[in-house]
Amino acid sequence: MNPNVFKCPADKSKIDLGNRVRSVSMNQTVGWNVNGNWINAGGGVWQTYKRVENITSLNPVDLFVFLDEHPDGINDGGFAVIGSVAGSIGTGRIIDFPAPYHNQNSSFTFADGHAEFHRWANPNTIPKVQYKSGGLASANVVADPDLTWLQTHASSQ
């Protein structure tokens, strides 16, 4: 497998040793790095998917697996989408931010194998790239259409 598939050509970030080798992160509800179901702040349960056959509560065409993560916040390889507060979709906490490499759009691949760009409605969802270390501060959001999209494409309750 060519490792270049894990780095967007539009990512110009560097690390002390040279070019960053990865810009892609994986949805934290997908794969073997998940433990059980996630309990959200409203008491609901977000499903996790270790195997393709576990994707029964959400259509695979709607479940994102990989995306380009913001270069100022990329860290552990997992992309966290925090569940809704008090059961209200679109309300919660943004921990990891998508990358804005493609004219304020981000690229996603889905469990059924297709890929697409998603355009963000809220400019705060994709902070300006500064290529600095130290990460991005997480943000609490209420009634945010971008968080709604991320939540409904990361898992189901």
Token pair 């968080």 is at which residue? Answer: 147
Neighbours of 84 (CB within 10 A): 20
The full set of domain ranges for the chain reads 19-154
Q: Which residue has the tokens 């494409």?
A: 153
- Distance from C-alpha of 70 to C-alpha of 147, rounded to nearest angstrom: 15
* Per-residue model confidence as pLDDT tens digits over 8-30: 888 888 777 767 788 899 998 89
Q: What is the pLDDT of residue 142?
A: 77
14 CB burial (10 A radius; 0-12, 13-18, 19+): exposed
Full-model pTM:
0.85
- At 86 the pLDDT is 56
Looking at residue 83, the DSSP 8-state letter turns out to be P
Q: Does residue 36 surpass a pLDDT of 60?
A: no
CA distance 133 to 127: 14
Three-class secondary structure of residue 65 per DSSP: strand
Residue 37 vs residue 89, higher pLDDT: 89
Q: What is the mean pLDDT of residues 115-126?
A: 91
98, 123 Cβ separation under 8 angstroms: no
Structure token pair of residue 156: 């189901």
CA dihedral 97, 80, 67, 88 (to 10 degrees): -80
pLDDT at 128 over 90: no
Give the chain's mean pLDDT. 83
Check if the beta carbon of residue 139 is closer than 8 Å to that of residue 93: yes
Element spanning 127, H or E: none
What are 56-113's pLDDT values in tens digits?
888 999 999 999 999 888 888 888 877 666 556 777 778 889 999 898 899 999 999 9
pLDDT at 76: 83
Residue 39 confidence (pLDDT) above 90: no
- What's 150's DSSP letter? H
